[in-house]
Every structure is written in structure tokens, then in C-alpha cells.
Structure 1
Amino acid sequence: MMVHKITQLARSRTHAHRPTLSFIQRKVNGQALLAVTNTFEGTVFVNQSATAVTAAQYSSELFPDLAAAQTNTVEKLYSGLGTDIFQTSAIQGETIFICPTYYMLSAFPGRSFKGEFAIPPGFHGGDLVYYFPGTSTPPFNNTAFIDAFAQSFTSFIINQNPNIKVDPSTITPPWSPFAVGDTEMLFNQTAPDGLPVVQPITTSSALLTRCQFWESVGNLTAQ
């Protein structure tokens, strides 16, 4: 009996899909998706004093199964993003948080909405205080911004669409469903006067290209 159970478990694992494959094939539960990523998701997870680590070196340490040709591709894809430490922070943020978000969005065509939270410094977790207004004072304590951000989620929870607003007076403009090359909603503020910025932006084509690469090596990155 035990051998039979082990055999069944082995077969189930053999036929199990990696998450990215499930997204590609749209084998997901749920009806719609609203997803927001922060601009610099990876910064707090990378030692910012390790300036000598290149993109190729960092990617090989983060994902040891990558071959030299693949880490060289990483080097090329991230070469235009600034310093080595900025590139490694971007690799961390995009591989773990940002690119998987786009994979999930693709599993809900016409029913997914993408946002970017960019209030400085735009690090991972910086948006948490804005989800539940009144629990603490956020760094950008602007009522119009807070209502627009938090109520987008409330509207989505109730209606599966942030455009069907619980409060029609919020400053969030019409929010298009996400499609590759389409727009997403930016949540930011102006400098130095600190006015709220809630507006559609076009997703970076360079970012999507990097995400396509990471998707192509998902079998080597446990994705």
C-alpha cells in the first residue's frame, strides 16, 4: 500500500506544472486580478555595499542552474540600467516580484489590471500603509492619493473592476485591463510640490523583454 501511494505521488509530481506554465496555459482559479508592484522591489533584499558584483555574477549566485551563456544574456539585458548594484537590485526585484506579476496578469486576459506604486523610495512593502487608511500616518499623507489607491482595491473586491468605483469622486482615471504593450496605472507624487499623480503609463518594453527572458528560463529558476 505504501509503495502504491509513493508511486501515485511521484506521478502527480511528474505531471505537475511549474507556475509560469500554469499561467501561460491559464490554468488558474479566480475570475479577475488586480496587481500592484513597487518600482524598486529588490533594493531592500540586496546588500547595497556589494558594489563589485556584476549582473552575470549575481544572477549565477541567485540561480545556480543558469549556464554561462544565460548569465551573459542577463549581463546584456541589464547593462543599460546604471551601476552594478542597481542592476543586481533590479534582477532581484524583477525575477522574484515584478516579472511573475506580469505572468499572472497574462492568465486573466481582459480581466486583469496592473498598477505601479512609485511613492519614493518605491521599495518593497512601501505601499502597505496605504491599503488601510487611518492605521498609521503614511510618508505621503495626501487624502486624494490615499483614497484613489486604497479605494481601487475596495472597488475591485466588490466589483472585480476598479472602474466601478465605490466613491466616484476619487481621482483615479479610467483603468484599462492589462495587455502586453498596454498601459498600467501609476501611483506617484510630484516633486518638489508633492501633488498626487495617478495616471496611466505605458509598460516599459525593455522590462517586458527582460521578463520574457526570465520566463524562458523558468525551468532553471524554480518558476
Structure 2
Amino acid sequence: MDPALAVATGPLLSFTLASIIIELTPGPNMTYLALVSAAEGRRSGFATVAGIALGLAGVGLAAALGVAELISASPVAYELLRWSGILFLLYLAWDGWREAGVDEVAASQGAARYFRRGLVTNLLNPKAAVFYVAVLPNFIDPAGPVLAQTITLTAIYVGVATLIHAGIVLLAGAATPFLTDERRERTARRTLSALLALVALWFAWSTAR
């Protein structure tokens, strides 16, 4: 096989399957996307998906350049990133609870805001860095072009994550018409916000070293 193809078909399929399983596991992205899409609509949900995709790609690029490995190997850097992510998730949960029943932000402003939040959430996610450092290398052939393989696998992972996240937006967004009633909307938003806070606490526990 031409080295330019970077990764053999077998490892590609295995990595794709692993990515699907990982992304179908409930976590911060899934919960936050459900909250945004149900309460704010699909436009805001897809904006969040775009931010998440860029964040995951950014962490993948950092891994390819060795930055993610340095963070994973440094207890101080890892803990700083971990707690920044936890606090940001808790802030999002609090913000979602606080905004229940409040008039929505203008559509253009809301889309930009949710894009930024999706981006920041994933840039501050140490589990993403650990995935790229601990899991992804297992699917790389050291005899081949490592950088090209890393970029290829990162693109696959981001693509899989984006498709799954888009599906969540479509499903959760279907509940938006049901939430036109202010009382139901407030109840749903606060329920999902409380769930996001619990996910943040789970995230704190599961990422502790």
C-alpha cells in the first residue's frame, strides 16, 4: 500500500468502531448538546456541534505536535486543565438553570455563543488529550509516517463525533415545539442543567489520578 495512504484498512475500521463506542458513551458533550438543542433549538445545537468539532480537532493537532503528551505527563498541567474543564461545565449548568424562563438571546448571538462554548468545553477536556495520547497511538504503524497517520485518525474521530453529535441535536431538537410552553421549557432546562452538573461531578471523579 502507498505510504501516503497512512493507515491500513484494518486499523482504520477498528479505530472507527472504537470511536463510535467512545462517543456513544454518555458524557459532557452529549448532555450539553441535549440541553442546548431542546431549550434553544437546532440552530444553537449545530453551532455547539461545530465548536465541539473544532475543539476536538485542535486537541488532535496538539497531540500530533506532542503538546497533549506533555500535558498528560505533567501532573500540574493535567490538573489545571482538568479543573478548568470541570468548573466550566458547572458554569454551563448554572447558566442553563439561571436562564430558564428568561427571554432567548438573539439567534445570531446565540449561535456564536454556543459555538464558543462547544469549543472551550473540548479544549479544556483532559480526557480528549488522554484519548489522543493513550488510545490513538495503538492504531498507528510506527514504520509508517506517524504525523500523517495521526492526522488521518484525528479526522476520523472528529468525523464520527460530529455525526453522532448532529444526531443528538436532531433528536433533542424535536422536543423544542413541546417546550413552547414556558413552564415546560423551564422544567426541562433545569432538569437538563442539573444533569449537566452531575455529569461535571462524574467527570471530576472519572478524570482524577
The two structures have a TM-score, normalised by structure 1, of: 0.21
Relative contact order (alpha carbons < 8 A, sep ≥ 6): 1 or 2 greater?
Answer: 2
Task: Name the structure where helix makes up a greater proportion of residues.
Answer: 2
Q: Which has the larger radius of gyration?
A: 1
